[in-house]
Amino acid sequence: MPPDMRIQTALLKGVLGCAAAVLTVALGAGDARAQALLVERLPGGTRLVLVNQPLADATTLAWPEISVDGESAGRLTTGRLTLAAEVEAVFKQAEDEELAGLAPPVIVAVGGVSAVELYALLERVIGDRPPAPVVRPVTTALVEGGLDRRLGAQGSDAMLRLEILLPPLGDRRRSSIEVLWDLMPLLLADVVPGLQSRVEGPLGILEGRVDADNAEQTVGELRLELARFASDPSLQGDDVAEARRRLQVRRYALLEEHPEGAERVLENWLAGGEDAVRELVFGIQSVTLASVRDAAAGWLPLHPGRAQLILPPRGFNPRFAAGPQIERWDNDLNAAILERAGAPLTVVCLRPVLVPDLDGEVTAVVLARLARELRSAQNRPGFVRVRTTPPLIEIAGPADGFGELMEQLTNAYLAVVADSAPVVGTGDEAHRRALDLMAGLLGVTETEDVSPASLLQPGNLALGVVAADAEAAAETLNKFWLMDLADAGTANVQSMPAVPRTRMAAPGDTSVLVVALEMSFGGNESVSLVLGELLASRSRGLWSGSRVDILYPYIPGRSLLLLELASRGTVHEVERSMAIEWPKLTAPTNEAELASVKARVASSASAEMSGVAGHARRCAAVAAGASRWHQPAEFELEILTVGSEIVNGLLKSFSELATLETTGA
């Protein structure tokens, strides 16, 4: 401690009789012009916190001001000559009876005033009045770990804002973390170029521009880098020393501002007491590379912060983004390619357009052969799945592996498509025969069993693709699938019977009746799904002990549902049972019944279209002509707004069972 500081401390002890006075020097022990901190107690108990700056000519006093309306910050900025008069005017005895006899709990002074002069002045003005209770500020806890997405202006860049709770003001790690925060733009330049960092109250804030398509991935990378800063080799001692000097100058400059310096000291005292004030004035001097690493290791992994993404309309909601681009090649192969740069996977969905079996089971057997070839390959895809409603096959790979994925699919396809052996469906014979009769009645099947060669012709295939680059994906498809496969397999074409049959005998004691419910409108998908779910929910309570299925076959140019009833007995008995309950099945609905149906359909449709695979399935449906492109949220809204008048109109058109096309076995 410099000699003049020792003299001042001794003078305070002798004149004021305050053995607990604390005097500390900042910015180097040998600097005679350094700022000093005095923490003293007035006779009545009020705390006096003085940050003395020898080169300052003005002084600002700040204190929690007590009033009948609550507590607010009072402040007074004055020069040397007017100090006594203005302090006396401000701290005179309160006239309000409720406040009479109370003094502020703490008075903060920052500036050039002498400690002896200020203490004597406040002792005379305030006397032994007891201090009012201290009201600590109430801070709202930061809910960390979340991610908020907000809509930005059209054409704007995507912005990332990450708020992280910093150590409390009195915590010895606070200065080390603030030094680290100053280094964030340098240390995180590879993750977010142009990142900006600042400290606002209890929060450390990081802001920067990011790629809208990879914004959420960038948030994850940023949090990961913050959690492992303690072992980051790019954090060097020279950088820490330079950042410490910058922060030291920043704090010293803040304390020279009037009244901001005193208000900041008061804020720290109310938040953390004397420790918080000392941390503000002197804590920066003890920051080293080791202290920064220790603070980062002990604090940042436990505080992932709250992230906020401000995205342009295209990035905020994919419904604003462009839909898939449709490609059609000379071999009549159709593909819908959706570009999503931020997708974690690339997915290809292959779907036959016209299928000979209305339930998709036989077609799924053919696709299962394709899946077997894919799974048995040496470089097999990471994900292969076959679905039956509608029949399709999905394969997925890494985001940058579309070319490899298409090569694997092409090799498996060439191995399967050359097979012209018929595929025979398995399962309930009556079920299969009744559906085959309906397929013949609708004109969508052949008289012979289907084969891979006839089903997998390029002209009968639709591809749905989700890839990072649509143009590159189209070039890859052109490379692998622009081929003449006439020699690989030949479609089998047979003549249809002149008069289609509607009834056929089948072994077993169960009969199946299939009813075609053809809708007069142009195939509104949302209405079809709502109507199908309504019929399915009603039928469960009408035919106990029987199996009822609603099928949604895709037949170009037609929009229909199939109701299949399987029950013990002859076909005639099943027909009679259906006729008895048919008026209940097709009775008009009301908004209450329809609301629950629409909610179930909307949830199911949203789940079906969700994610990368869901988007690929939707693209395949678009390429096949079975659907139009819309995002899950848009389709969900379309389902929820289906009106009862439309559904009741269709139910009325189905009310006469005798007028509908039926097949049985």
Model pLDDT for residues 82-108, shown as the tens digit of each residue: 888 888 888 775 444 445 578 889 999
581 domain-assigned: yes
303 and 407 assigned to the same domain: no
pLDDT at residue 537 is higher than 80: yes
CA–CA distance, 342 with 345 (Å, rounded to integer): 9
Give the CATH number for residue 93. 3.30.830.10
Number of domains in the chain: 3
Confidence band for 598, pLDDT divided at 50, 70 and 90: confident
| pLDDT value at residue 155 | 67
190 and 82 assigned to the same domain: no
| pLDDT value at residue 355 | 80
41 and 83 assigned to the same domain: yes
- Which one is predicted more confidently, 540 or 33? 540
Per the prediction, the chain carries an average pLDDT of 80
134 domain-assigned: no
Please give the backbone phi and psi of residue 107, each rounded to the nearest 5 degrees, phi first.
-125, 125
Confidence band for 426, pLDDT divided at 50, 70 and 90: low
493 and 550 assigned to the same domain: yes
573 and 654 assigned to the same domain: yes
243 and 324 assigned to the same domain: no
| SS3 state at 315 | helix
Examine residue 259 and say whether the peptide bond preceding it is cis (omega within 30 degrees of 0): yes
pLDDT at residue 16 is higher than 60: no
CA–CA distance, 544 with 564 (Å, rounded to integer): 14
> What percentage of residues in the chain have a pLDDT greater than 70?
85
- Angle CA 640–585–509, to nearest 5: 125
Taken as a whole, the chain contains a residue count of: 665
263 domain-assigned: no
CA–CA distance, 178 with 187 (Å, rounded to integer): 14
374 and 474 assigned to the same domain: yes
Residue position matching structure tokens 């591809």? 463
31 and 106 assigned to the same domain: yes
437 domain-assigned: yes
- Which one is predicted more confidently, 189 or 76? 189
pLDDT at residue 449 is higher than 80: no
Q: Over range 511-525, report the average pLDDT.
A: 75
Q: Over range 427-443, report the average pLDDT.
A: 76
Tokens of 130: 């007891």
210 and 352 assigned to the same domain: no
Q: Over range 150-174, report the average pLDDT.
A: 85
pLDDT at residue 183 is higher than 90: yes
Q: Over range 483-488, report the average pLDDT.
A: 46
Sorted by sequence, the CB contacts under 8 Å of residue 430 that are 6+ apart come out as 506, 507, 508, 510, 511, 512, 566, 665
167 and 107 assigned to the same domain: no
* Per-residue buried b or exposed e for 564-587, using 16+ beta carbons within 10 Å of the residue's own CB: bbbbeeebeebbebbeebbeebbe
pLDDT at residue 404 is higher than 80: yes
194 domain-assigned: yes
3 state SS for 325-370:
EEEECCCCCEEEEEECCCCCEEEEEEEECCCCCCCCHHHHHHHHHH
* Strand pairing report for 334-339 and 196-200: unpaired
Q: Over range 461-471, report the average pLDDT.
A: 86
491 and 623 assigned to the same domain: yes
| pLDDT value at residue 19 | 32
Q: Over range 213-237, report the average pLDDT.
A: 85
| SS3 state at 483 | coil
52 domain-assigned: yes
329 and 474 assigned to the same domain: yes
Q: Over range 127-155, report the average pLDDT.
A: 79
445 domain-assigned: yes
CA–CA distance, 265 with 60 (Å, rounded to integer): 11
Where a domain ends, among 126, 155, 182?
Answer: 126
CA–CA distance, 539 with 172 (Å, rounded to integer): 71
> Do residues 445 and 598 lie in contact, with contact meaning Cβ atoms separated by under 8 Å?
no
Confidence band for 185, pLDDT divided at 50, 70 and 90: very high
| pLDDT value at residue 428 | 67
* Strand pairing report for 345-352 and 461-467: antiparallel
Q: Which range has the top average pLDDT, 18-22, 83-87, 422-426, 434-438?
A: 83-87
pLDDT at residue 497 is higher than 60: no
Provide the sign of the torsion angle of the four alpha carbons 111, 78, 134, 105, taken in this order.
Answer: positive
| pLDDT value at residue 141 | 73
173 domain-assigned: yes
| pLDDT value at residue 67 | 57
| pLDDT value at residue 109 | 93
Domain that holds residue 462: 318-664
| pLDDT value at residue 437 | 80
